[in-house]
Amino acid sequence: MTTEKTVQVRRVYDEPDRSDGTRVLVDRIWPRGLTKAKAGLDEWCKGVAPSTELRKWYNHDPERFKEFTRRYHTELKEPERSTMLAHLRELASDGTVTLLTATKQAEISEAQVLAELLRH
């Protein structure tokens, strides 16, 4: 029997919580107006983020999330992103991981797509 890994998604602007475990920012661009100290990150894995082209095409349009997810899965097979995804899997196997994003709708972000992949 396998246990579901604890992988959470939160906004990087939210206050860190003790239940966060390892806090990893998965955006390519540093969050506007946030200092590194305030972010309370353990890591910034910008190499796993979607390409600039995909991010701009998606533009966090809820109607494009399904297609964004499909395209992002394809990008995650590329060498750099694949290596970073494997690193995130390793972190998740060691304990709770919180994937952080600056987007206002974290539930339709790359962090959510990554969390679903890491949970299974």
Tokens 């349009």, located at residue: 61
d(CA 31, CA 103): 9
Q: How far is CA 43 from CA 10, 26, 57, 63, 109, in A?
A: 14, 9, 26, 31, 18
The pTM for the full model equals 0.93
- E strands in 1-120: 7-11, 22-25, 43-44, 97-101
Task: Judge whether 32 lies within some domain.
Answer: no
Tokens 């998740």, located at residue: 92
pLDDT computed for residue 2 by the predictor: 45
Could you tell me the two tokens for 51? 């390409």
pLDDT computed for residue 120 by the predictor: 87
Task: Judge whether 35 lies within some domain.
Answer: no
Q: Which domain holds residue 81?
A: 7-13+21-27+42-119
pLDDT computed for residue 1 by the predictor: 38
- DSSP β-bridge partners for residue 71: none
Counted domains in the chain = 1
Residues 72, 57, 34, 105, Cα dihedral to 10°? -70
Per-residue pLDDT of the chain (120 residues; tens, 9 = 90+): 344 579 999 999 999 999 999 999 999 999 999 998 899 999 999 999 999 999 999 999 999 999 999 999 999 999 999 999 999 999 999 999 999 999 999 999 999 999 999 998
Task: Judge whether 36 lies within some domain.
Answer: no
Is 21:40 a contact under the CB 8 Å cutoff?
Answer: no
